[in-house]
Amino acid sequence: MGKLTTHVLNTAQGKPGSGISVKLFSMENGRHLVASAVTNNDGRTDEPLLDDETFRAGTYELEFSVGRYFLESGACDTDPPFLDDVVIRVTLAGDDPYHVPLLVSPWSYSTYRGS
């Protein structure tokens, strides 16, 4: 069954990225907001960003507001922070489950297709 989930790991401090705003945009016919959430204490959204009823194959952008998170957590010593919003563009096909983790520090990030 198709769904999209995510979580954030703060690799600089070795802990989940909690309280981070996450927005999901569909890129079909322009950029349109389709879901938003805030990560919980485990760095995860409480619900999938897309699930069986809302999942549609297509291209999406996940936008993570990490700049504010790092400023508020004290992990960033520059204002404005080097990284502000991290945007990851993905293409979802079929009815597969997708998990897109964000591993982030104030200066770098990486992602992968998780399970």
pLDDT at residue number 78: 79
The DSSP letter of residue 56 is -
| pLDDT score, position 24 | 98
DSSP string, 104-115: E-SS-EEE--B-
Number of compact structural domains in the chain: 1
User: Which residue range(s) make up the domain with 36?
Assistant: 3-111
Q: What is the pTM assigned to this prediction?
A: 0.94
Which residues have a Cβ under 8 Å from the Cβ of 79 and sit 6 or more positions away? Answer: 71
Q: How many CA atoms within 13 Å lie on the side-chain side of 60?
A: 23
**CATH number of the domain where residue 92 is located:** 2.60.40.180
DSSP H or E stretch at residue 61: strand 58-65
Q: Are 12 and 109 in contact (CB under 8 A)?
A: no
Give the pLDDT confidence of 66-110 residue by residue, as tens digits: 999 998 887 777 778 899 999 999 999 988 899 999 999 999 999
